[in-house]
């Protein structure tokens, strides 16, 4: 197989996600034959620095030796068994370890295979909880303006991205949105924290009126990634959690993108000192190896389902729920966090990246440069209607995988990036920005 052969066959047989396929008449697909560390390689030796961890999943680089070894070992033992009526070591160990990471406050783990399914589970579980508690009228959901929680029909109903939503709007059960605490929206002279407080009051105003029908408020803690890395002050989460508790509305923390150290703490919501009722995890959970997601919840929710009556139980399943290989990849990922003290190591690594990023932060066409943990983002002044596509193409020419969201450029590098690679990332991004006017 060479580059050209792969592309031709791919365009014939594969319907690619998030893509107008006709665009590939002029914008070539990128053929990838192998990966190693932060690098992806094509069939002819060209390489690309994966500055976005392949849609935010690949935490410890491609072909990570420790995750590879764990998967090889698991392959020789058990590749899969159904989780209804059966259990296995990786799923038990993973559930115990994840619960421990929440200080045992979220002690019950329900698994699925992707992020959108985790959202679906949290939404269904929240409503079913209220139904079991004799309040079936609590069946509505509230989310933030610009929210992204996945693209299946249930998850899309709490996703507020017009491009993904509009064509399917007739299929969706409408939910309400409240203002996003995105710090870029603060008024002149208003601090991110003050703006967060103003948004929390808007949330409270909404709940005062509608809490009787609302099962849950779903939020991406600290960074609304798909909205273009919109960052907010932790005060918002602190106040939102208190308001939700006061009005008996569940708080669902969607940490599918921001969990696993991405914002500087293991979970993003920890920075606000809150305890959500549901925590959704996916993406980085398996180090970018295998599809896996989990919804973690409290003993209180769990107990509301625990009864003789089967219809009071949580009725949801996926064929691959709790797949042993995926759980083993997740365990290997957690082992790296532990063995390498990754959260602390990332403080230093993040500091070095921020320092090197000064050449971008001070660039005259760069606006709203921002950073939280291992996420860096900024907008670039440009009136080119093809901006994001051109950045992508110019990036590839400079051994760089960048995928802007609208005008927002961002880095979410694998945590194994070294100093030379950081330098490559910054210098080449600078060149890319200067190449796209």
Position 329 contacts ligand PLP (CB under 6 A): no
Is the Cβ of residue 49 or residue 280 nearer to ligand PLP in the bound state? 280
Give the pair of three-digit tokens for residue 363. 């660039």
d(CA 298, CA 110): 11
Interface pick for ligand PLP out of 182, 204, 254, 421 (rule CB under 6 A): 254
Interface pick for ligand PLP out of 39, 148, 411, 415 (rule CB under 6 A): 148
Is the Cβ of residue 329 or residue 432 nearer to ligand PLP in the bound state? 329
**Residues in a beta bridge with 344:** none
d(CA 374, CA 262): 5
Interface pick for ligand PLP out of 180, 271, 282, 429 (rule CB under 6 A): 282
Stretch that binds ligand PLP, among 203-211, 218-226, 232-240, 410-418 (CB under 6 A): 218-226
Is the Cβ of residue 218 or residue 426 nearer to ligand PLP in the bound state? 218
Cβ count near 92 (within 10 Å): 13
Interface pick for ligand PLP out of 49, 51, 94, 116 (rule CB under 6 A): 116
Stretch that binds ligand PLP, among 1-9, 59-67, 251-259, 306-314 (CB under 6 A): 251-259
Position 120 contacts ligand PLP (CB under 6 A): no
Interface pick for ligand PLP out of 98, 122, 183, 225 (rule CB under 6 A): 225
Position 226 contacts ligand PLP (CB under 6 A): yes
Is the Cβ of residue 114 or residue 379 nearer to ligand PLP in the bound state? 114
Interface pick for ligand PLP out of 35, 90, 115, 259 (rule CB under 6 A): 115
Smallest gap from Cβ 296 to ligand PLP, in A, equals: 15
d(CA 251, CA 243): 10
d(CA 39, CA 63): 10
Is the Cβ of residue 223 or residue 391 nearer to ligand PLP in the bound state? 223
What sign does the dihedral 261-143-183-53 (CA atoms) show?
positive
Position 220 contacts ligand PLP (CB under 6 A): yes
Question: Helices 324-339 and 65-75 sit at what angle, rounded to 10 degrees?
Answer: 150
Stretch that binds ligand PLP, among 109-117, 239-247, 353-361, 428-436 (CB under 6 A): 109-117
Is the Cβ of residue 196 or residue 225 nearer to ligand PLP in the bound state? 225
Instruction: Determine the residue with CB nearest ligand PLP.
Output: 115
Per-residue CA distances from 383 to 113, 198, 421, 434 (Å)? 40, 32, 30, 14
Q: Any residues with CB less than 8 A from the CB of 401 and at least 6 apart, and which?
A: 30, 40, 48, 49, 50, 51, 52, 54, 395
Is the Cβ of residue 1 or residue 163 nearer to ligand PLP in the bound state? 163
CA dihedral 212, 216, 222, 227 (to 10 degrees): -100
3-state helix, strand, coil in the chain (%, to 5): 45, 15, 40
Is 292 within 8 Å of 121 (Cβ atoms)? no
Query: DSSP class of residue 39?
Result: E
Position 327 contacts ligand PLP (CB under 6 A): no
Stretch that binds ligand PLP, among 2-10, 205-213, 254-262, 380-388 (CB under 6 A): 254-262
d(CA 425, CA 344): 22
Is the Cβ of residue 199 or residue 252 nearer to ligand PLP in the bound state? 252
d(CA 8, CA 393): 19
Position 114 contacts ligand PLP (CB under 6 A): yes
Is 263 within 8 Å of 372 (Cβ atoms)? yes
Interface pick for ligand PLP out of 67, 199, 256, 417 (rule CB under 6 A): 256
Count of positions on this chain that bind ligand PLP (CB under 6 A): 15
Smallest gap from Cβ 313 to ligand PLP, in A, equals: 25
Question: Helices 419-435 and 342-356 sit at what angle, rounded to 10 degrees?
Answer: 40
Position 217 contacts ligand PLP (CB under 6 A): no
Smallest gap from Cβ 133 to ligand PLP, in A, equals: 27
Interface pick for ligand PLP out of 61, 146, 150, 175 (rule CB under 6 A): 150
Among 12, 48, 91, smallest CA distance to 327 is for 91
Cβ count near 286 (within 10 Å): 28
**Site residues, ligand PLP (CB under 6 A):** 114-116, 119, 148-150, 220, 225-226, 254, 256-257, 282-283
């Amino acid at each position: 197989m060479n580059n050209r052969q792969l592309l031709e066959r791919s365009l014939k047989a594969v319907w690619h996600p998030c893509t107008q396929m006709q665009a590939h008449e002029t914008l070539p697909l990128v053929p990838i034959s192998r990966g190693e560390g932060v690098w992806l390689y094509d069939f002819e030796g060209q390489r690309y620095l994966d500055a976005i961890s392949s849609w935010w999943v690949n935490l410890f680089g491609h072909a990570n030796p420790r995750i590879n070894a764990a998967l090889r070992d698991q392959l020789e033992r058990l590749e899969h068994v159904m989780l209804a009526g059966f259990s296995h070591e990786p799923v038990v160990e993973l559930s115990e370890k994840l619960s421990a990471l929440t200080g045992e406050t979220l002690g019950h783990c329900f698994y699925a295979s992707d992020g959108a399914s985790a959202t679906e589970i949290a939404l269904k579980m929240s409503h079913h909880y209220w139904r079991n508690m004799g309040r079936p009228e609590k069946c509505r959901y509230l989310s933030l303006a610009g929210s992204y929680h996945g693209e299946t029909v249930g998850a899309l109903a709490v996703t507020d991205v017009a491009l993904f939503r509009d064509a399917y709007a007739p299929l969706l059960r409408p939910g309400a949105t409240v203002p996003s605490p995105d710090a870029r929206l603060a008024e002149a002279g208003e601090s991110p924290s003050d703006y967060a407080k103003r948004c929390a009051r808007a949330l409270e105003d909404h709940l005062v009126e509608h809490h009787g029908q609302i099962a849950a408020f779903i939020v991406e803690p600290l960074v609304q990634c798909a909205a273009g890395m919109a960052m907010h002050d932790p005060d918002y989460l602190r106040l939102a959690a208190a308001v939700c508790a006061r009005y008996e509305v569940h708080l669902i923390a969607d940490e599918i993108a921001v969990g696993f150290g991405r914002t500087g703490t293991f979970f993003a919501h920890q920075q606000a000192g809150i305890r959500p009722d549901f925590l959704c995890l996916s993406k980085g959970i398996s180090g970018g190896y295998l599809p896996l997601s989990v919804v973690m919840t409290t003993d209180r929710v769990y107990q509301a389902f625990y009864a003789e009556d089967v219809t009071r139980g949580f009725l949801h399943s996926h064929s691959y729920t709790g797949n042993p290989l995926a759980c083993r990849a997740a365990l290997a990922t957690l082992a790296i966090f532990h063995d390498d003290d990754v959260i602390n190591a990332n403080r230093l690594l993040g500091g070095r990246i921020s320092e090197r990023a000064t050449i971008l932060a001070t660039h005259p066409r760069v606006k709203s440069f921002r950073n939280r943990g291992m996420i860096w983002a900024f907008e670039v002044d440009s009136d080119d209607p093809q901006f994001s596509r051109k950045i992508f193409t110019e990036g590839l020419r400079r051994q760089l995988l960048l995928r802007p969201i609208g005008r927002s450029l961002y880095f979410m590098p694998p945590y194994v990036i070294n100093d030379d690679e950081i330098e490559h990332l910054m210098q080449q991004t600078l060149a890319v920005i200067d190449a796209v006017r």
